């Protein structure tokens, strides 16, 4: 069996009946030095998503070649935060669509589209929690813009409650006002916050 990590060949210590998941775990514990495995190729084919999930529990044979790529936890988190920041433009576009639908008198369609917007922000909050899990430390005490991430999240929760209350009450006038005056600065502010948090994580890693 041929096993490589970041292009370097490793000893094939795993028995033929071992699973791919067991092999990856052994490489991570023995050779990765705290880095996370971010790419898996078996016999030249990169495994992604459900395909990777199915393959992890399957056996590997002595004839297989397994190529693994690792990355620093801080790099993974910083990249994820920057990607999330980039998606704020999409969130802003959704809010614009909601405003246009409301202005056109298409309340039900606007409410349906606005549900997507709320789910995006729920995903954003969950992503921050998951970033902390990857780093092995809570990121909410980090101070960005003079306040902690936890304080920013609490403010966000308050804004989302206002929006959700207007949505559930079918108060389209209030919802229209919130869409026009609250959402654009909310999206802009979180774009900057997530970008700054990514840079802070990068800087802490470089200074370690």
pLDDT of residue 199: 93
Structural contact between residues 114 and 98, judged by C-beta atoms closer than 8 angstroms: yes
pLDDT, average across residues 41-70? 92
User: pLDDT grade, residue 72 (50/70/90)?
Assistant: very high
pTM of the model: 0.77
18: helix, strand or coil = coil
Query: Among residues 21, 40, 41, which one has the least CA distance to residue 29?
Result: 21
Which residues make beta-bridge pairs with 147?
144
Residue with tokens 């206002």: 162
pLDDT of residue 14: 47
Which residues make beta-bridge pairs with 177?
none
């Amino acid at each position: 069996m041929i096993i490589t990590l970041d292009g370097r060949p490793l000893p094939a210590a795993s028995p033929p009946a071992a699973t791919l998941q067991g092999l990856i775990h052994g490489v991570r514990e023995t050779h990765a030095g705290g880095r996370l495995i971010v790419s898996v190729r078996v016999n030249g084919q990169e495994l992604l998503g459900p395909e990777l999930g199915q393959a992890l529990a399957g056996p590997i044979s002595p004839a297989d070649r397994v190529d693994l790529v690792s990355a620093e936890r801080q790099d993974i988190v910083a990249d994820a935060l920057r990607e999330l920041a980039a998606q704020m433009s999409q969130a802003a576009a959704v809010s614009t669509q909601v405003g246009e639908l409301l202005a056109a008198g298409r309340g039900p369609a606007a409410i349906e589209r606005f549900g997507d917007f709320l789910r995006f922000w729920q995903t954003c909050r969950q992503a921050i929690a998951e970033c902390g899990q990857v780093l092995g430390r809570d990121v909410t005490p980090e101070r960005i813009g003079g306040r902690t991430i936890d304080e920013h999240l609490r403010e966000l929760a308050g804004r989302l409650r206002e929006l959700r209350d207007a949505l559930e009450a079918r108060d389209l006038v209030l919802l229209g006002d919130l869409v026009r005056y609250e959402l654009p600065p909310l999206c802009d502010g979180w774009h900057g916050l997530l970008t700054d948090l990514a840079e802070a994580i990068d800087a802490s890693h470089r200074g370690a």
